[in-house]
Amino acid sequence: MTNYDAIVVGAGHNGLTNAAYLARAGLKVLVLERMPWIGGAAVSREIEKGWMYSNCSYVCSLLRPELFRDLELARHGLQVVPYGGGVTITRTGDVLGNYTDEDVQRREFARHNPRDGDAYHRYSTDVIRQCKFIRPLLLRTPPDPTSFKPRDIRELIYLGREFTKFGEQFIYDTLRFYTMSIADFLGEYFESDLIKAHLSGSGIIGSAMGVYSPGTAYVLLHHYMGDVDGSIGAWGFARGGMGAVSNAIASAYKSFGGEIVTDAPVERVIVRNGRVAGVATANGNEYRAKIVVSNLDPKRTFTKLFDEGDLNPEFVKRARNFKIRGSSGKLNIALDGLPEFPALGRDNPLRFGDIHFLDSLEKMERAYDDWKNGTWSKEPYLDLLIPSMTDPTMTPPGKHFMSVFVQYVPPKIHGRDWTDQDRDGFKNTVLDQIGRYSPNFKSLIRHVEVRTPRELEDEVGLTEGNIFQGELTMDQLLFNRPFPGYAQYRGPVKGFYMCGSGTHPGGGVMAAPGANAAREILLDLKRPSLVPEGWQDD
């Protein structure tokens, strides 16, 4: 048995970020990971020989540049390459593309609806304003509005000031934006149903809501608030797949003297005299530390790692009621060549980005209805990318890797567990949809890895397969994340902390929760904080 200053349970990218800062502050830190590999949902694995898969997350934008730079991730091997393009293809073969040049983008919209072309400018101005407001909050610990502690009051005042900085109308717009549906929000800008459908995808990715559900407009922001090299809303690929992010953070962590043990599923957090004393793993090892940090989602953390007796029953109820419904699935496909999309024609640069097959908001909403009715969408919303076109290191020459994110996929089928048969049915639904838009696609398939919520839960440990470690709704955001009163990364037992995506600012490969949690831990230890402040985003 060994003693550590701090143990981090889970080697997801947030756990690793947290561990890196603790180690850098001079603590003796151990990361325990259940799987043989690290990274959690930010992982690359060679599933088919020669093919590097981004098994879960697949694109990068949210990763805080302050942390990227501070941990010198480039020196540790990380490179994020922005991609261009992105396109929606309709049933009738019409296309709507994304372009980096503002004017080209406008003309593309105008082609579908002249007024919408000009409205796009208003739309992006308003969304950017929202991004400007939220970005500086990502690397801050949310204040507790019920508290009278000086720090909370100071932070509330800061928040208030940030909030009022953009003026009275912005405040109203923000209140509306955070509570509206993406469909209503887009309706205030655009007339074309196709344009609305095209833009609405960001409002529902990973969420258990439909485009008509109030609250989805905010989810859109969650996908826009990142950037690649200051280009807000742009996305990129991590060279070598998303595992490269976790690997680089792990490498930084190790350079600070940190230790990682894989194949070490933690079974229990040991609590003695009301404070944590260490952890016990499934294979019978015990590790001691006065600080234990969980990278797992809050529900799993408090319903699986703790003896219920160590927690207050009200708190256990909170944890049980934490909303973490799975709604997404994924297909990872090794291809023998590049699929053709006749609607795009040859060599269309739009193919380098995310491809969708959509027609209308109604089609999106119906996909959600299927989920509510306990089955995967019969016409799912796909976010399809071929990263190997931008990053040839992922596959053998001439071969390709396709990542297909699928919305909606329920955690249970009509209330019962997924069967292998269901999984095949789901796979075929997705492959068929792609096949309808790409005649040569199916003939190129070499291997398909299917992830339903069942696999996401089993392999990554995401409860119900929720990709964000908890839904992004008002009741679970900012000072409500994961639970009101526990948004400052501290758990209900002394010495216990949370650092996963289930904490503020939420899901995505962002590294902010891990860094923020480290700031709080170092504060409690009365050590100087090494965690960088967010850049003033002016």
Partner 1 sequence: MTDRNRIIIVGAGHNGLVCAAYLARARREVLVLEASDRVGGAAITREFAPGFRVSACAHICYQLDAGISRELKLGAHGLKTAHANLRTVALATEGDHLVLHGGRLEAGLLPDKDRAALADYHDRMLRFARVLGKQHNRRPPRIGGGGRSELIAAAMLGLDIRRLGRDPMREFMRIAGINIFDVLEETFETPLLKGALALDAVLGTNLGPRSNNSVLTMLHRLSGQATGVTGGLSLPAGGMGAVSEALAAAARAGGATVRTGSPVASITLEGDRVSGVELESGEKLAAGTVISNADPARTLLQLVGARHLETGFVHRIRNFRSKGMAAKLHLALDGLPGFARLAAQRAGDRLVIAPDPVYIDRAFDHAKYGQCSPDPALEITIPSIHDRTLAPAGRHVLSAIVQYAPFDPRASTDAARAEFLERTLGLLERYAPGLRRQVVASELLLPADIEREFRITGGHWHHGELALDQILMLRPVPGAAQYAMPVDGLYLCGAGCHPGGGVMGAAGRNAAHAVLGGERAA
Partner 2 sequence: MRHKDHFKTAVYQTPFHPRTSFDLTPMTKHRITGKDALPFLNRLITRDIAKIKPGRVGYCVWCDDNGQVIDDGTVFHLREGDYRLCSQERQLDWLTRSAHGFDVKIVEDTHEVAALALQGPTSCAVLKAIGCTGAEKLKPFDIAYFPFADGELMVSRTGFTGDLGYELWIDPARALELWDALFDKGGNHGIRPMGTHALEVARIEAGFIQAQVDFLPADQAIRIDRSRSPFELDLGRLVDFSKPNFNGRRALLEERRRGSRYRLVRLDIEGNKPARSAYIYDSKRNVVGTVTSAEWSPSAKSNIALASMHMPWGRPGDELWAEIYYQRELKWSRVMARCRVVEGAFFDPPRRRATPAADF
Ligand X SMILES: Cc1cc2nc3c(=O)[nH]c(=O)nc-3n(C[C@H](O)[C@H](O)[C@H](O)COP(=O)(O)OP(=O)(O)OC[C@H]3O[C@@H](n4cnc5c(N)ncnc54)[C@H](O)[C@@H]3O)c2cc1C
Q: Binding of partner 2 at residue 166 (CB under 8 A)?
A: yes
Q: Which does 115 bind (CB under 5 to 8 A by kind): partner 2, partner 1, ligand X, none?
A: partner 2
Question: Shortest approach of partner 2 to residue 199 CB, angstroms?
Answer: 8
From residue 116, give the alpha-carbon distance in Å to each of 105, 120, 129, 347: 11, 6, 19, 27
Question: Shortest approach of ligand X to residue 63 CB, angstroms?
Answer: 7
Which amino acid is residue 344, in one-letter code? L
Q: What is the CA radius of gyration of the chain?
A: 22
The stretch among 39-47, 100-108, 237-245, 517-525 that binds partner 2 (CB under 8 A) is 100-108
Q: Which does 69 bind (CB under 5 to 8 A by kind): ligand X, partner 1, partner 2, none?
A: none
Give dist(CA 236, CA 228) in Å, integer: 7
Of these, 26, 167, 342, 374, which contacts partner 2 (CB under 8 A)? 167
- Indicate the helix (H) or strand (E) that contains 106: helix 102-112
The stretch among 27-35, 167-175, 253-261, 404-412 that binds partner 2 (CB under 8 A) is 167-175
Cβ distance to ligand X smaller for residue 216 or 328: 328
Burial of 532 (0-12, 13-18, 19+ CB in 10 A): middle
From residue 170, give the alpha-carbon distance in Å to each of 134, 180, 218, 240, 474: 13, 15, 15, 41, 18
For CA atoms 206, 318, 19, 1, give the dihedral sign.
negative
Residue 55 in 3-state DSSP?
coil
Cβ distance to partner 2 smaller for residue 37 or 166: 166
Of these, 124, 207, 328, 476, which contacts partner 2 (CB under 8 A)? 124
Residues lying near ligand X in the complex (CB under 6 A) are found at 9-15, 32-35, 40-42, 56-59, 62, 265-266, 295-296, 328, 330, 405, 456, 460-462, 467-469, 500-501, 507-509
Q: Which does 14 bind (CB under 5 to 8 A by kind): partner 2, ligand X, partner 1, none?
A: ligand X
What is the 8-class DSSP label of residue 530? -
Q: Which does 119 bind (CB under 5 to 8 A by kind): partner 1, partner 2, ligand X, none?
A: partner 2
Q: Assess whether the previous peptide bond of 408 is cis (omega < 30° from 0).
A: yes
Of these, 28, 111, 129, 366, which contacts partner 2 (CB under 8 A)? 129
Question: Shortest approach of partner 2 to residue 201 CB, angstroms?
Answer: 12
Cβ distance to partner 1 smaller for residue 23 or 194: 194
As a whole number of angstroms, the longest Cα–Cα distance in the chain is 70
Residue 81 in 3-state DSSP?
strand
Question: Shortest approach of ligand X to residue 359 CB, angstroms?
Answer: 24
Question: Shortest approach of partner 1 to residue 175 CB, angstroms?
Answer: 6
Q: Binding of partner 2 at residue 224 (CB under 8 A)?
A: yes
From residue 326, give the alpha-carbon distance in Å to each of 53, 60, 374, 392: 22, 21, 11, 32
Of these, 234, 270, 316, 478, which contacts partner 2 (CB under 8 A)? 234
Question: Shortest approach of partner 1 to residue 114 CB, angstroms?
Answer: 18
Cβ distance to ligand X smaller for residue 139 or 343: 139
Tokens for 11? 């080697």
Q: Which does 256 bind (CB under 5 to 8 A by kind): partner 1, ligand X, partner 2, none?
A: none
Q: Binding of partner 2 at residue 171 (CB under 8 A)?
A: no
Question: Shortest approach of partner 1 to residue 252 CB, angstroms?
Answer: 36
Give dist(CA 489, CA 507) in Å, integer: 15
- Indicate the helix (H) or strand (E) that contains 433: helix 420-437
Cβ distance to partner 1 smaller for residue 231 or 321: 321
Cβ distance to partner 1 smaller for residue 353 or 491: 491
Residues lying near partner 1 in the complex (CB under 8 A) are found at 145-146, 163-164, 167-173, 175-176, 178-180, 184, 187-188, 209, 212-215, 321, 323, 362, 365-366, 369, 372, 473-475, 479-480, 483-485
Q: Binding of partner 2 at residue 115 (CB under 8 A)?
A: yes
- Indicate the helix (H) or strand (E) that contains 88: strand 87-89
Tokens for 499? 């650092």
From residue 398, give the alpha-carbon distance in Å to each of 278, 289, 321, 336, 391: 50, 50, 48, 7, 12
The stretch among 227-235, 354-362, 367-375, 416-424 that binds partner 2 (CB under 8 A) is 227-235
| DSSP string over 355-405 | EEE---HHHHHHHHHHHHTTS--SS-EEEEE-GGGT-GGGSSTT-EEEEEE
Q: Which does 184 bind (CB under 5 to 8 A by kind): ligand X, partner 1, partner 2, none?
A: partner 1
Of these, 94, 102, 308, 362, which contacts partner 2 (CB under 8 A)? 102
Cβ distance to ligand X smaller for residue 461 or 492: 461
CB atoms < 10 A from the CB of 406, how many?
Answer: 26
Q: Binding of partner 2 at residue 117 (CB under 8 A)?
A: yes
Q: Which of 219, 226, 424, 171 is nearest to 327 (CA)?
A: 219
- Indicate the helix (H) or strand (E) that contains 173: helix 168-177
Instruction: Using CB under 8 A, list all residues that contact partner 2.
Output: 98, 100, 102, 106, 114-119, 121-122, 124-125, 127-129, 132, 165-167, 169-170, 199, 224, 230-234, 538
